[in-house]
Amino acid sequence: MRFSAKASRVLGAAVLMLVAALILAAAGLPKRSDYTGTYTEGLGRVAPEINAFAPPINARLLGGSTVAVPSPHSIVLINFWATWCAPCEAELPILQALHNEGEAFVLAVNMGEPSDQVERWLSERALTLPVTLDPDLVITRLYHVRGQPSTYVVRPDGRIGHIVFGAASEATLRSLLQP
């Protein structure tokens, strides 16, 4: 049985793809955290992905107090937002309610805007949840944020339980807080 040149090339390519797939299946893919994470003494690999330890944040809140995330014994919602972001404007009152109810500690990270603009915007909307400014986008880069709003749910054990890219409804956010 003799194959044409075109059929031989197609068959050869198929065999190579099969061999490559078998090698990949046997070796496995690298973990994303190997590329997006860092090693932290006492924790091991820390990365902005589900089931990895959340990158630690030590931030000064508007008003002057400080906060450290993750926080043992409580669920933390870290929300990245901006004043010009319409979905953020819709989502922040939901996060405010969750924070007020004690469902979770909420840390709203403003991405790169001046404090006077952020404080005025929050005041106009009667929002009082904990907000930190990220003027140089250090926290934003630490979490590899792709856009806003983005919300990271950090479990009491310090691991990221869920990540929501884009605005989430109240029902969705409440469901993510359940064990």
CA max distance for the chain: 81
pLDDT single digits (tens) 2-42: 778 777 787 778 888 887 777 766 766 555 555 555 555 66
Alpha-carbon gap, residue 128 to 110, rounded angstroms:
14
Kindly indicate the confidence band of residue 162, based on its pLDDT and cuts at 50, 70 and 90: very high
pLDDT digits (tens, 9 = 90+) for 51-108: 888 888 999 999 999 999 887 778 999 999 999 999 999 999 999 999 999 989 999 9
The domains located in the chain, with CATH, are 46-176 (3.40.30.10)
CA distance 48 to 86: 25
CA nearest to 33, candidates 18, 16, 22, 47: 47
The residue count of the chain comes to: 179
Burial of 61 (0-12, 13-18, 19+ CB in 10 A): middle
- Is the pLDDT at 169 greater than 90? The verdict is yes
DSSP 30: P
pLDDT of residue 84: 97
Distance CA 55, CA 154 (A): 10
**In the prediction, which pLDDT does 13 show?**
80
